[in-house]
Amino acid sequence: MASTLEALERWVNEVAALTRPAKVHWCDGSEAEYQSLLQQMLADGTLIELNQQTHPGCYLHRSNPKDVARVEHLTLVCHPTEEDAGPNNHWMDPAKAHAKMDALFDGCMEGRTMYVIPYCMGPIGSPLSRCGVEITDSPYVVANMKIMTRMGNAAQERIEREGDFVRGLHSTGELDPERRWIMHFPAERTIKSYGSGYGGNALLGKKCHALRIASNQARDEGWLAEHMLIVGIENPQGETHYIAAAFPSACGKTNLAMLIPPEGYRKDGWKVWTVGDDICWMRPGADGCLYAINPEAGFFGVAPGTSNDTNPNALKSISRDTIFTNVAVTADNQPWWEGLPGTPVTDWQGRPYDPANGPAAHPNSRFTVSAKQCPTWSEKAEDVQGVPISAIVFGGRRPSLLPLVMEARDWTHGVLMGAAMGSETTAAATGAVGVLRRDSMAMKPFCGYHYGDYFQHWLSFDRPGAKLPKVFHVNWFRKGKDGKFLWPGFGENLRVLEWMIARVEDKARGLETPIGILPAAGELKLDGLTLPPATLDELLAVDQAGWQAELAAIGDYLDGFTPRLPAALRAEQQRVAEA
C-alpha cells in the first residue's frame, strides 16, 4: 500500500526537519549493514573489541556511568486523561509532553546520522506479531535492535502491507539525567525517548513498544502483553508443556527459560526448550487455549551471576557474536563479571579494577545475543500460531512467608496471586536495591494503563469456552535465619515445574490450604538433592499470622486502585483472608 509508505516517509521527513541530521539511513537489516555499523563503532570507541580467539564477534560497550538502567521516575505514560494512566504510572498531559520532548529533539541530530529502523515484534508471518519503526541517532541502538528484533526489509514490507506501525523516536541526546525522558503516547501508538542509550530506555521495540504500548493494544484487541518468559518442558514420553512465567526484572526469567534439568531428570529423558526470556504476547485460540509468542528475537540478559553452574546455556549462547554492555574484562581481554571464574583487571568503567570501587561489572551489566545461539532454542519460537500455554507462573524475591510453590484454585484466585505479587527491587532500575514493593504481574514498570483496568482485563479471559492455564506462584528466594537461600534454585527448579505439570495433567492431588494448593507430602520429587526435611517444611509452611498480615496489606494495596479496582478481585482477597 503506497499510502502506508507515504505516511512513514512523511513522519520520517517531519522528524528529520525537527532533529536536522546530516544523513538519513534506512536500515535494511542485512549482515553487511550490521558489520559496517560494528566497524564504525570500533573506530569511534563506542565498541571495544574483546578477545576474538575466545569470543569471536564479541564487543564491549561502556555506557555513560550515569546511564546504566531503566529510569522509572522519568518514564511516563501520557494518556489524554490522567485517570487512564492509573496510580501505577507517571503521567503528563500529552500536548505538554510532546512540547517538552520536541524542544529536546530540536536540532539534536545535527552533524549525525539518523537511522530509520523498521522492525517486527514476533515472527514476520504471525497474526500475533506487531510492527514498529524506531528512529534513532545511536548506531549502538541499531546494532542491538538488529539482534533483538526482526529488523529491516522484511519488517518494512509487512508494515507496507498492514498499514499500521508503532512510531518510536529516540535520541541519546547529551546523556544528561536532567534532560532524560521516556514518554509514551498510547492513544497515538507513539514513543519519544531522549537522553539515554540504555536498553529498556532506548531499544524501543522492547519495553516501550512490546509492553507499554502493546498492553494498550492488547486490551483493545483482547490479548495479553506480559513481562514473561516462555519455556517448553518435554517429558520422557516426548510430550511438551509450555509454561509462561512473570518474575520482576532480574528475578530469574532468563535462568528459568534456559534451565538445564538435574542429572536424574536428564537421564530419564526430560528436556527443556527456550521460547522466550522476557516478553510474552498471548491470546485465546479457536480451541479456547491461550497461545503465546515471544515478540523478541534475542536476549538482553543480566550478566552478573551467569555462570556454568547457574546458566550454562546462556554462557554457551554468548561465546560468540555478542554485544556486552558494562561488564569488566580480564588480563587477556575476555568479558568478566561477578560469578565467573578468573580475575578482572579492568572494571566496567574502564578503570583498573579496585574492589574499593565496588563490583568489577556493573550489577545491571548485560549481554545482547541472538536467541538462535541458545543451545535449547525452540523451533516453536518461529511458529506463527504460537505455543499453547499449560501454566502461568508468578513469582518474586520474597525472603520470607511466600512458599516455594502454590497453585491458585481458579482463574480469579490466580489473577489475585499475580496482582498481589511483591518482590525486592533490583539493579535493573535506578534507585534503592532490595526494597520490598508490590509489582503486580511483574508489570509495575511496564503496564501502559491503569492497573485496575488491567486486572479487569485479566479477569475477562475467564469466559464460556475458555480453556485457561492453571496459575501458580513460586518463590525461589526464601532465606533462612543465616540469610542464605533455602532452595537451591536454577536447574533444581524443574522439580517444581514437574509438580505443576503433574497438576495440569491431574496426576498429583496437592494439598488444599487457605492460601492455595501446595504439594502434598512426597509429591515434590527430591531424589538426588540434599535438602534437609526441616528446610522443605519451612519452604512449604503456611504461617497463619504472617498471612493474615500479608492479606490485609494486599487489601490495602488493591484499594489504591479504587474506583477502577474490579469488585471481584477485592472479593477474592476477602475470600482468601477469611478462608
Q: By the criterion CB under 6 A, which residues form the site for ligand SPV?
A: 70, 199-200, 206-207, 249, 278, 300, 428
Rounded Cα distance between 114 and 110, Å, is 9
Residue from 181, 247, 367, 561 in contact with ligand GTP (CB under 6 A): 247
Comparison of 302 and 558: residue with beta carbon closer to ligand GTP? 302
Residues 6+ apart with CB under 8 A from 552: 577
CB burial of residue 238 (10 Å; 0-12, 13-18, 19+): exposed
The 3-state secondary structure of 474-542 reads ECCCCECCCCCECCCCHHHHHHHHHHHHHHHCCCCCCEEECCEEECCCCCCCCCCCCCCHHHHHHHCCC
Rounded Cα distance between 447 and 418, Å, is 13
Judged by beta carbon distances under 5 to 8 A according to partner kind, the member of Mn ion, ligand SPV, ligand GTP, none in contact with residue 200 is ligand SPV
The 3-state secondary structure of 403-421 reads CCEEECCCHHHHHHHHHCC
Q: Which stretch binds ligand GTP (CB under 6 A): 78-86, 165-173, 349-357, 482-490?
A: 482-490
DSSP letter at 123?
-
Comparison of 132 and 200: residue with beta carbon closer to ligand GTP? 200
Q: Binding to ligand GTP by residue 535, rule CB under 6 A?
A: no
Residue from 50, 128, 166, 250 in contact with ligand GTP (CB under 6 A): 250
Comparison of 156 and 249: residue with beta carbon closer to ligand SPV? 249
Q: Which residue in the list 27, 78, 131, 251 is annotated as catalytic? A: 251
SS3 category, 100? helix
Comparison of 300 and 490: residue with beta carbon closer to ligand SPV? 300
Rounded Cα distance between 107 and 397, Å, is 44
Q: Binding to ligand GTP by residue 476, rule CB under 6 A?
A: yes
Judged by beta carbon distances under 5 to 8 A according to partner kind, the member of ligand SPV, Mn ion, ligand GTP, none in contact with residue 254 is ligand GTP
Judged by beta carbon distances under 5 to 8 A according to partner kind, the member of ligand SPV, Mn ion, ligand GTP, none in contact with residue 255 is ligand GTP
In the range 484-503, which residues lie near ligand GTP by CB under 6 A?
Answer: 485, 489-490, 493
Comparison of 278 and 439: residue with beta carbon closer to ligand GTP? 278
Q: Binding to ligand GTP by residue 254, rule CB under 6 A?
A: yes
Least separation, in Å, of the C-beta of 311 and ligand GTP?
7
Q: Binding to Mn ion by residue 278, rule CB under 5 A?
A: yes
In the range 135-194, which residues lie near Mn ion by CB under 5 A?
Answer: none
Judged by beta carbon distances under 5 to 8 A according to partner kind, the member of ligand GTP, Mn ion, ligand SPV, none in contact with residue 122 is none
Q: Contact, 432 vs 425, CB < 8 A?
A: yes
Radius of gyration of the chain (CA): 23
Comparison of 55 and 227: residue with beta carbon closer to Mn ion? 227
Q: Is 374 a catalytic residue?
A: no
CB burial of residue 534 (10 Å; 0-12, 13-18, 19+): exposed
Q: Which stretch binds Mn ion (CB under 5 A): 31-39, 52-60, 271-279, 291-299?
A: 271-279
Beta-strand pair 323-325/59-61: parallel
Least separation, in Å, of the C-beta of 147 and ligand SPV?
12
Rounded Cα distance between 428 and 75, Å, is 14
How many other C-beta atoms lie within 10 A of the C-beta of residue 162? Answer: 14
Q: Binding to ligand GTP by residue 305, rule CB under 6 A?
A: yes
Catalytic residues: 251
| Residues in touch with Mn ion (CB under 5 A) | 249, 278
